[in-house]
Amino acid sequence: MPPADAVRTEEMVNYFAYNYPRDSNEGAPFSVYSEISASPWSANKHLLHIGVQAVEADSVQDLPANLVFLVDVSGSMNSPDKLGLLQSSLKMLTRQLDEHDRVSLVVYAGASGVVLEPTPGNQEHRIVSALERLRAGGSTNGAAGIELAYHLAQRAYIDGGINRVILATDGDFNVGASSVQALKDMIVEKRKTGISLTTLGFGTGNTNDHMMEQLADNGNGNYAYIDTLNEARKVLVDEMSSTLHTVAKDVKVQIEFNPAVVAEYRLVGHENRLLNREDFNNDKIDAGEIGAGHTVTALYEISLAGSRGQSVEPLRYRDNQPGTQPVTVDTSEFAFLKLRYKAPEEDSSTLIEQPLLVADIRDSITDTSEDYRFSAAVAGFAQLLKQDASLGSFSFDDVLVLAQPARGDDIFGYRAEFINMVRTASALR
């Protein structure tokens, strides 16, 4: 079983693609979907499902890409599931490129160096040959490699295109705490020039998962862990557009719950992505990015006013608390959703607003969509792995009851793989 603190519920939920409606919000690069029904793990509570669906890759401009592969060739990478798998993975990505794209290759270990200068993407033999020459050995100096990779990305910069450093490593950075902060600061500065950072983690044992996620977050990019060729195909081939092509940046979601209808709420997961309330309207505050065709899902567990699902006794003098907002008298809405985003080249955000209606609350989870039930199953599984006491008697068997009928088409078998993982966890427990 994984350590409880290693489980990030929101990332498990968002590993899977969901088939949300494609209706656009008056020219916005994505649509917003909501669904709410009874919580599968808490009696007398409800689970709110918020889904954001970005426009598909074939409906956005095909942008040329300037990619710098930054490859860790330190001694810790000397393993088939690390450097060997990394080489095969980047070869798959290379096959998706053409003459308009550029590929560079930088390596780092005890020292850093350029293995391949910017090369047209259709010169596959040159790129593959450079990848095949890589050998592992030496200590790790990740910071120096990242600086060199950004320098090369700046040299080959494509105005109006995709400019991205792809860091592939087991994450075993041999740098001190002060250097880590300096590294993050440098990545933040570089993203202002239009160069983003994607991190790919390989191998087990010494993978610094937390560091990899932090670097990607600071670099306006994404992080993926790759342990098989099938996973590499998912991230770098099937989802290449959402991995590389950003259609909206600094996307922020804020939900205001109507206290006349909702007594309590909690966001399921997202512990390291919470924003202060005052930061929602501040366009200088960084937030997440959405790639072409990508879906983003968030789940809230709520207790309706007057229900028996409240975890905390209501305050006797709630309406007299200093700073408390007057209770909304309109009980047709249980919440109000606000979403801010910026176009990739813009510095000012656009606001989308949408009321969430009491009339849309469904009493039975069996009346919900397959995506709703499957996402709830994944969230429940993640919380079980985190040993969350709020789940009560909810079990791995309950996860299977939810997930199995909600597999849908499952073209690539990812949902079936999840179901097998739940069975394995149940057996281990």
Measure the CA–CA gap between 111 and 366, rounded to whole angstroms: 58
96 and 132 co-located in one domain: yes
> What pLDDT, on a 0 to 100 scale, did the predictor assign at position 313?
62
> What pLDDT, on a 0 to 100 scale, did the predictor assign at position 286?
65
CATH classification at residue 204: 3.40.50.410
300 and 323 co-located in one domain: yes
Domain stops at, among 195, 212, 242: 242
318 and 228 co-located in one domain: no
Model confidence pLDDT, tens digit, residues 284-329: 666 777 777 788 899 999 999 877 666 666 665 555 454 555 555 6
36 and 143 co-located in one domain: no
Among 72-81, 205-214, 240-249, 419-428, the range of highest mean pLDDT: 419-428
232 and 252 co-located in one domain: no
Model confidence pLDDT, tens digit, residues 312-371: 666 655 554 545 555 556 789 999 999 888 887 777 888 888 899 999 999 899 999 999
Among 193-197, 233-237, 331-335, 399-403, the range of highest mean pLDDT: 399-403
84 and 172 co-located in one domain: yes
Domain stops at, among 183, 211, 242: 242
202 and 314 co-located in one domain: no
40 and 124 co-located in one domain: no
Mean of per-residue pLDDT scores for the chain: 84
38 and 135 co-located in one domain: no
State whether the Cα torsion 146-225-188-211 is positive or negative: negative
Domain count, the chain: 2
> What pLDDT, on a 0 to 100 scale, did the predictor assign at position 178?
45
pLDDT category of residue 141 using cuts at 50, 70 and 90:
low
83 and 226 co-located in one domain: yes
50 and 72 co-located in one domain: no
60 or 206, higher pLDDT = 206
What are the helix (H) ranges across 1-105?
Answer: 9-14, 85-94
Domain stops at, among 204, 224, 242: 242
227 and 114 co-located in one domain: yes
Strands of the sheet containing 65-72, edge to edge, are 112-120, 102-108, 65-72, 162-169, 196-202, 223-226
CATH classification at residue 368: 2.60.40.1230
Record the tokens describing residue 383, joined without a space: 């919380």
Q: At what angle do helices 370-385 and 414-428 cross, to 10 degrees?
A: 30
Question: Could you list the residue range(s) of the whole structural domain that residue 198 is in?
Answer: 65-242
